[in-house]
A and B are shown apart, each in its own frame.
Chain A
């Protein structure tokens, strides 16, 4: 017994120390510094000491919280759209497709993700822009009289975000749907249940942990994405990450930037907490 516990502690330290150092040095310490900065004034003002001015500025200036809520609302919308598309896809792959095509289909979903996000987004701009592929054919065959600008608006941006994050919804759902016994669905059919009842009462409840973890991943990814909103979003669609980047890099106001960063962290935590409460899932169950 003695030796066993000793062994355990050895192994524990060997594997614990790298993880601990990783978390401490690369995540916890920088965040503490950022937190300190978010409560300080820019250095050139030479006014040391605690201040809430960075946070007050955020609430005073409508453009900041407008972008903030816009980003949150659009992230939730994108997550919902991804879920609505991802659920049937996952169902088809696990339950309908034959074993052979199953692997093939999964690969098909994976392949676009072997290419960098930047290239994929540029691909969309080539297709959608005013002098792009769709407009070229539409005007050539006289379906549209004049080319229409389809890029640089919110719809294009949402589509881009859905496209870049769909994999991260489908994969976790495939994982849980796999473990759903087919006989449950068959039994429900035998007992005369309708399709939507089967979805509502059997498939979705069983897949809930996968759905929630997929939603969390997608939501966080979309909330924190920078490239897609920036390149496809156009002149009116400001994303909150762009605000943070601008504060840090363009306006050299690291204090305001860190305050924005913490507000974003705070908001995403609250939204996820609310989502977990509403769906009745526990975080423990979801990350399992």
Chain B
């Protein structure tokens, strides 16, 4: 009995040593693997395969969201992943408070293939203490997804406030997340970005916007939680008007031209999903290689053709399929582009304030 237990103990100890050793080995050959926190669809399998063939680096892509990326990287102090794709407004505040990203060395980025305007705005939004923390990748907007069959109003006059119109009662949907607060703020005439750094006034705006959204809740069918839910809702005709991304709207347009993306009068809400390198990335080299690879015009165009979003790759337009090209020309006219509301960096504490308003909306009858 005693012997058996001793053997068991020895085996356990050996096993744990072996496991620990195994982990170290894995870290040493870490530059064969690129662990990436990204969004669904941002790293197509075909490109992952191609990248591995070219550079011998295996890409492990974990689909995530802004909030999850931040939580995961804060929990580990910026380790566990080699590359992340946060939106441009979610970088500086966490760099300041937790230091989870490292500065980008732009000399390693192939800037010639990038759109200068997007690079400039990304640099502006992600600068902290003189250093830049991100490279632009995908840009997208959220505005209104409208089914013309039921919503007869002239698309040019539509605004976020139409989401509260009793005429569409039971056929409206939006997400219960911070964008709806900002968007409704703009539609109600506030200069939202200007209030970002004035907490007291921002709170007043939140109270007004929250009250309006709670009042309009009887019109709402549901707060959509994921993209599929919205697509299905629109497709089946259960939802007539919603706040959503152009990408989803264009998928629907392809099947049913009645449904399309409409840029609201007070401006679409625009974001840039970037590349940022976590502070304790174990494969910085591979990360730069992937950034340059994905933003090559052909690869970027392949992504746009499949997913609908535009990218920071300058010459990708040449490789767009006619359908993608038509989408951009139809929905993103120069006036619409000029009227976009690009999200600036979110200051600390803002999300807690918004959280309370969102909780009130969700709990309201």
Contact = CB atoms under 8 A, between A and B. Distances in A.
A256 B352 CA distance: 10
A44 B346 CA distance: 13
A29 B274 CA distance: 36
Interface stretch (B216-224, B249-257, B315-323): B216-224
Interface in B329-365: 348-349, 351-352, 354-356, 358-360, 362-365
Top 9 A-B residue pairs of the complex, sorted by shortest distance between their CB atoms = A251-B355, A44-B348, A131-B236, A63-B363, A251-B351, A249-B67, A253-B352, A238-B363, A238-B362
A5 B217 CA distance: 69
Given A43-B97, A66-B363, A67-B363, A130 B67 contact: no
Given A236-B364, A236-B365, A7 B2 contact: yes
Contacts of A11: 1, 5
24 contacts: A7-B2, A14-B5, A14-B8, A42-B352, A44-B348, A63-B359, A67-B363, A131-B238, A152-B222, A235-B222, A235-B223, A235-B362, A236-B364, A243-B359, A247-B355, A249-B67, A249-B71, A250-B67, A250-B351, A250-B358, A251-B351, A251-B354, A251-B355, A252-B67
Nearest to B74: A252
Contacts of B217: 235
B349 A42 contact: yes
B242 to A, nearest CB: 13
Interface in B54-68: 67-68
Nearest to B346: A252
Interface string B117-140: 000000000000000000000000
B116 interface: no
Contacts of B360: 63
A235 B1 CA distance: 61
A64 B19 CA distance: 45
B2 A250 contact: no
B97 A7 contact: no
B237 interface: yes
B27 interface: no
A252 B8 CA distance: 45
A217 to B, nearest CB: 27
A43 B93 CA distance: 12
Contact residue range for chain A? 35 or more
A190 interface: no
B177 interface: yes
Contacts of A152: 221-222
A230 B221 CA distance: 15
Contact of A248 (B71, B238, B365): B71
Given A67-B363, A238-B359, A251 B5 contact: no
Interface of A: 7, 10-11, 14, 42-45, 61, 63-64, 66-67, 129-131, 149, 152, 230-231, 234-236, 238, 242-243, 246-253, 256
A61 B362 CA distance: 14
B167 interface: no
Contacts of B95: none
Contacts of A231: 225
Given A235-B223, A251-B354, A44 B68 contact: no
Nearest to A61: B356
Interface in B200-224: 217, 220-223
Contacts of A243: 359
B357 to A, nearest CB: 10
Most B-side CB within 10 Å, residue of A11, A44, A247, A251: A251
A90 B149 CA distance: 53
Nearest to B93: A44
A243 B362 CA distance: 10
Given A14-B9, A43-B97, A246 B71 contact: no
B70 interface: yes
Contact of B70 (A67, A252, A256): A252
Interface string B7-32: 01100000000000000000000000
Given A61-B356, A152-B222, A235-B362, A130 B236 contact: yes
Contacts of A248: 71
A108 B263 CA distance: 52
Contact of B359 (A43, A236, A246, A252): A246
A130 B238 contact: yes
Contacts of A242: 362
Contacts of B364: 236
Contacts of A67: 363
A129 B238 CA distance: 10
A66 B354 CA distance: 19
B51 to A, nearest CB: 30
A122 to B, nearest CB: 10
Nearest to B228: A122
A235 B175 CA distance: 10
B207 to A, nearest CB: 14
Contacts of B71: 248-249, 252
Contacts of A246: 355, 358-359
Contacts of B365: 236
A236 to B, nearest CB: 6
A7 B365 CA distance: 64
B73 to A, nearest CB: 12
